[in-house]
Structure 1
Amino acid sequence: MSHQVGNEADDMEEEYEMEDADDDMDDEFHGRDAGGSDSDMDEYDYMNNRMQDTTAAQARKGRDIQGIPWERLSITREKYRQTRLEQYKNYENIPQSGEGSEKECKTTEKGALYYAFRRNSRSVKSTILHFQLRNLVWATSKHDVYLMSHFSVMHWSSLTCTKSEVLNVSGHVAPCEKHPGSLLEGFTQTQVSTLAVKDKLLVAGGFQGELICKYLDRPGVSYCTRMTYDDNAITNAVEIYTSSSGAVHFVASNNDSGVRDFDMEKFQQSNHLRFPWPVNHTSLSPDGKLLIIVGDDPEGILVDSRSGKAITYLHGHLDYSFASAWRPDGITFATGNQDKTCRIWDIRNLSKSVTALKGNLGAIRSIRYTSDGRFIAMAEPADFVHVFDVESGYEKEQEIDFFGEISGISFSPDTESLFVGVWDRTYGSLLEFGRRRNYSYLDTLI
Structure 2
Amino acid sequence: MSMEQFQNNELMYVDEDHFDVTSFEEDGGFSPRSGSTFFDDDSVDSDFDDDFELSKPKTDTSALEAKNGKDIQGIPWERLNFTREKYRESRLKQYKNYENLSLPHEDLEKECKEVEKDNNFYKFQFNTRLVKSTIVHFQQIAVLSEHQQDMDSFSYGMLRNLLWATSKHDVYLMQNYSVMHWSPLLRRGKEVLNAAKPIVPALKHPNSQTVKRVQISTMTVKDNLMVAGGFQGELICKYLDQPGVAFATKISTDENAITNAVDIFRNPSGSTRVMAANNDAQVRVFDASNFVCLNQFTFPWSVNNTSVSPDGRFLAVLGDSAECLIADAQSGKVVSNLKGHLDYSFASAWHPNGQVLATGNQDTTCRLWDIRNLSESFAILKGRMGAIRTIRFTSDGRFMAMAEPADFVHIFDTSSDYSRGQEIDLFGEIAGISFSPDTEALFVGVSDRTYGSLLELNRRRYDPYSECMF
- Give the alignment's TM-score, normalised by structure 2: 0.87
**Match for 2:163: what amino acid?**
V
Equivalents in 1 of 2:48, 2:268: separation in Å? 57
Kept in 1: contact 2:21–2:448 (CA 8 A): no
Kept in 1: contact 2:347–2:391 (CA 8 A): yes
Equivalents in 1 of 2:389, 2:61: separation in Å? 26
Q: Go from structure 1 to structure 2 and tell me whether the alpha carbon gap of 1:98 and 1:431 turns closer, same or farther (over 3 Å shift).
A: farther
Give the match for residue 179 of structure 1. Answer: 205
Equivalents in 1 of 2:29, 2:126: separation in Å? 26
Equivalents in 2 of 1:118, 1:17: separation in Å? 26
How far has the Cα of 1:427 moved from its partner?
0.4
Aligned with residue 45 of structure 1, among 30, 50, 53: 53
Kept in 2: contact 1:409–1:419 (CA 8 A): yes
**Match for 2:174: what amino acid?**
M
Verify: 1:84 aligned to 2:108, yes or no. Answer: no
Q: Report percent identity of matched pairs.
A: 56
Kept in 2: contact 1:280–1:322 (CA 8 A): yes
Secondary structure of 2:133 counterpart: coil
Give the match for residue 57 of structure 1. Answer: 64
Aligned with residue 273 of structure 1, among 284, 297, 307: 297
Aligned with residue 272 of structure 2, among 233, 248, 255: 248
Q: Go from structure 1 to structure 2 and tell me whether the alpha carbon gap of 1:219 and 1:14 turns closer, same or farther (over 3 Å shift).
A: closer
Q: Go from structure 1 to structure 2 and tell me whether the alpha carbon gap of 1:217 and 1:17 turns closer, same or farther (over 3 Å shift).
A: closer
Secondary structure of 2:422 counterpart: strand
Verify: 1:107 aligned to 2:110, yes or no. Answer: no
Give the match for residue 226 of structure 1. Answer: 250
Give the match for residue 403 of structure 2. Answer: 379
Q: Go from structure 1 to structure 2 and tell me whether the alpha carbon gap of 1:34 and 1:394 turns closer, same or farther (over 3 Å shift).
A: closer
Give the match for residue 177 of structure 2. Answer: 151
**Match for 1:378: what amino acid?**
M
Verify: 1:212 aligned to 2:207, yes or no. Answer: no
How far has the Cα of 1:33 moved from its partner?
3.8
Q: Go from structure 1 to structure 2 and tell me whether the alpha carbon gap of 1:35 and 1:316 turns closer, same or farther (over 3 Å shift).
A: closer
How far has the Cα of 1:203 moved from its partner?
0.5
Q: Deviation above 4 Å: which 4+ runs of structure 1? A: 3-8, 13-22, 24-27, 29-32, 48-51, 96-100, 440-446
Give the match for residue 150 of structure 2. Answer: none
Root-mean-square deviation over aligned CA pairs = 2.9
1:249-305 Cα deviation digits (max 9, x unpaired): 111111100111110122211111110000000010011000011100000011111
Secondary structure of 1:109 counterpart: coil
**Match for 1:138: what amino acid?**
W
Q: Go from structure 1 to structure 2 and tell me whether the alpha carbon gap of 1:210 and 1:99 turns closer, same or farther (over 3 Å shift).
A: farther
Equivalents in 2 of 1:101, 1:19: separation in Å? 33
Equivalents in 2 of 1:211, 1:4: separation in Å? 23
Kept in 1: contact 2:23–2:46 (CA 8 A): no
Aligned with residue 102 of structure 2, among 84, 95, 119: 95
Aligned with residue 36 of structure 1, among 29, 38, 48: 48
Q: Choose 77-86 or 433-442, whichever is displaced more.
A: 433-442
1:225-265 Cα deviation digits (max 9, x unpaired): 21110111010111111233333211111110011111012
Give the match for residue 138 of structure 1. Answer: 164
Secondary structure of 1:9 counterpart: coil
1:25-44 Cα deviation digits (max 9, x unpaired): 469x758946535xxxx446
Kept in 2: contact 1:335–1:342 (CA 8 A): yes
Q: Go from structure 1 to structure 2 and tell me whether the alpha carbon gap of 1:5 and 1:167 turns closer, same or farther (over 3 Å shift).
A: farther
**Match for 2:302: what amino acid?**
P
**Match for 1:322: what amino acid?**
F
How far has the Cα of 1:72 moved from its partner?
1.1
Equivalents in 2 of 1:8, 1:221: separation in Å? 35
* 1:335-350 matches, cutoff 5 A: 335-350=359-374
Give the match for residue 312 of structure 1. Answer: 336
Kept in 1: contact 2:5–2:98 (CA 8 A): no
Aligned with residue 28 of structure 2, among 23, 38, 46: 23
**Match for 2:416: what amino acid?**
S
Give the match for residue 152 of structure 2. Answer: none
Kept in 1: contact 2:211–2:249 (CA 8 A): no
Give the match for residue 190 of structure 1. Answer: 214
1:363-420 Cα deviation digits (max 9, x unpaired): 0000000000010000000000000001101101100000000000000111001000
* 1:293-308 matches, cutoff 5 A: 293-308=317-332
Kept in 1: contact 2:350–2:393 (CA 8 A): yes
Kept in 2: contact 1:19–1:87 (CA 8 A): no
Kept in 2: contact 1:336–1:367 (CA 8 A): yes
Equivalents in 2 of 1:21, 1:272: separation in Å? 53
Equivalents in 2 of 1:133, 1:52: separation in Å? 27
Q: Choose 204-213 or 51-60, whichever is displaced more.
A: 51-60
Secondary structure of 2:69 counterpart: coil
Verify: 1:324 aligned to 2:357, yes or no. Answer: no
Structure 1 unaligned runs (5+)? none
Secondary structure of 1:23 counterpart: coil
Kept in 2: contact 1:22–1:75 (CA 8 A): no
Q: Go from structure 1 to structure 2 and tell me whether the alpha carbon gap of 1:385 and 1:34 turns closer, same or farther (over 3 Å shift).
A: closer
Equivalents in 1 of 2:95, 2:342: separation in Å? 20
Equivalents in 2 of 1:182, 1:348: separation in Å? 40
1:340-359 Cα deviation digits (max 9, x unpaired): 00000001111100110000
**Structure number having the greater helix percentage:** 1
Equivalents in 1 of 2:465, 2:237: separation in Å? 42
Secondary structure of 2:377 counterpart: coil
Kept in 1: contact 2:23–2:450 (CA 8 A): no
Kept in 2: contact 1:97–1:319 (CA 8 A): no
Verify: 1:9 aligned to 2:12, yes or no. Answer: yes
Kept in 2: contact 1:51–1:122 (CA 8 A): no
